[in-house]
Structure formats: structure tokens, C-alpha cells
């Protein structure tokens, strides 16, 4: 997995660029949480569930089905998120979807069970430039530097450029 900070960074950067009129602070926070949420499945190791199990790490809760569930939950809670249900569904759904897609760009571990429960197959993208981070939270240890470097290059940089482009495009639209 990329580190939790990096997973949260994508919706935070993009949502901030879109602006608080469209993405409320609460919706932004919900998006960040949705982007982190799938890695809670590392707790499965504590219950003796092996990595390759459908409910193991990168299993069921890294699937599109789980993304839809999270998006529906956000739509149901839209009043608390201070946003229309459709906005909550789309923003939180896309934020959650970034998680398995980014994991599929990593160079270690098992693939992602994207199509669960239809299929238990684990998927990766053919191109995997992001170094996988150790399972755990040793974010700042020396051995993680190459991980952070690859995340900065392949996640933070593209997400920042996308956010900047989006920010400029949306503001230019307002002027015209
Ligand atoms: Zn993950």
C-alpha cells in the first residue's frame, strides 16, 4: 500500500482545488477517510486471516463493491456532510476508488480483489512504479525513504498538478 497519508492526500488536494462551495469541509474529511478506510483490513492479520483470503488484506474491502457501499453510506449521510446526496456519492465514491487503484500501481504484496464478490482474482496494473510501503506505520524510518520518494513522484506530484489544473479551470469558468 502507499502510506495512509498519501491515500488521504489525493481527495484532500483535489477536493480543496474544487473549492468549499462544492466540497464542504465535512465532505472533504469524509473523502479523506474513505481513501484510507480500505487499509483497515490489515487488522485481519490479527484474527489469523491470511493475506490471500477474500477477507484478507487487499481483499473484499478493496473491491468496487465496497467502494459503492461507502459511496451509498456517504449519500445517506449527506445532510451531516453539508452537501447534496449526489455530491456525497460522487466525491466519496471517487475518493474511495482511488485507494484500490493506487494499490494496483504498487510493486509488492498481492494484487487487489477489485471484482469481489464476482471474482476473487487479485489485480495489478501492468505498470507499477510505486514502491509498496511496509504494513504498519513506520512512515519515517530510513527504509521507507524510497517509498516516500516514489509516492511523492507518482502520487503527490500528479495529484498536485491535476488539482492546480482543476483549480485554474474552475476559476476561469467563473470569470467567463
Ligand atoms: Zn490498500
| Residue 20: Cβ within 10 Å count | 12
Phi and psi angles of residue 2, each rounded to the nearest 5 degrees, phi first: -65, 160
In-domain check, residue 176:
no
Q: How far is the CA of 82 from the centre of ligand 1 (A)?
A: 28
Q: How far is the CA of 171 from the centre of ligand 1 (A)?
A: 34
**How far apart, in whole angstroms, are the C-alpha atoms of residue 128 and residue 171?**
34
DSSP β-bridge partners for residue 106: 130
In-domain check, residue 33:
yes
pTM of the model: 0.91
Domain that holds residue 122: 4-171
Q: How far is the CA of 77 from the centre of ligand 1 (A)?
A: 24
Write the CB contacts of 111 (distance below 8 Å, at least 6 apart in sequence): 58, 104, 121, 122, 123, 124
Q: How far is the CA of 160 from the centre of ligand 1 (A)?
A: 21
How many domains, in total, are found in the chain?
A: 1
Per-residue pLDDT for the chain (176 aa), expressed as one digit of tens each? Answer: 678 889 999 999 999 999 998 999 999 999 999 999 999 999 999 999 999 999 999 999 999 999 999 999 999 999 999 999 999 999 999 999 999 999 999 998 899 999 999 999 999 999 999 998 877 554 455 457 888 889 999 999 999 999 999 999 998 866 55
Per DSSP, 3 falls in state -
Q: How far is the CA of 93 from the centre of ligand 1 (A)?
A: 15
Amino acid at each position: 500500500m502507499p502510506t495512509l497519508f498519501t491515500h488521504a492526500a489525493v481527495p484532500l488536494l483535489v477536493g480543496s482545488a474544487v473549492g468549499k462551495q462544492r466540497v464542504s469541509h465535512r465532505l472533504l474529511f469524509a473523502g479523506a477517510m474513505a481513501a484510507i478506510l480500505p487499509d483497515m483490513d490489515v487488522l485481519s492479520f490479527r484474527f489469523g486471516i491470511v493475506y490471500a483470503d477474500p477477507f484478507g488484506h487487499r481483499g473484499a474491502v478493496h473491491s468496487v463493491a465496497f467502494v459503492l457501499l461507502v459511496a451509498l453510506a456517504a449519500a445517506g449521510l449527506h445532510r451531516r456532510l453539508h452537501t447534496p446526496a449526489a455530491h456525497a456519492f460522487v466525491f466519496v465514491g471517487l475518493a474511495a476508488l482511488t485507494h484500490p487503484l493506487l494499490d494496483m500501481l504498487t510493486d509488492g504484496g498481492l494484487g487487489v480483489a477489485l471484482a469481489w464478490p464476482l471474482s476473487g482474482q487479485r489485480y495489478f496494473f501492468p505498470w507499477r512504479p510505486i514502491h509498496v510501503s511496509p504494513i504498519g506505520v513506520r512512515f519515517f524510518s530510513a527504509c521507507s525513504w524510497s517509498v516516500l520518494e516514489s509516492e511523492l513522484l507518482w502520487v503527490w506530484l500528479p495529484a498536485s498538478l491535476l488539482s492546480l489544473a482543476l483549480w485554474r479551470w474552475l476559476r476561469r469558468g467563473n470569470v467567463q
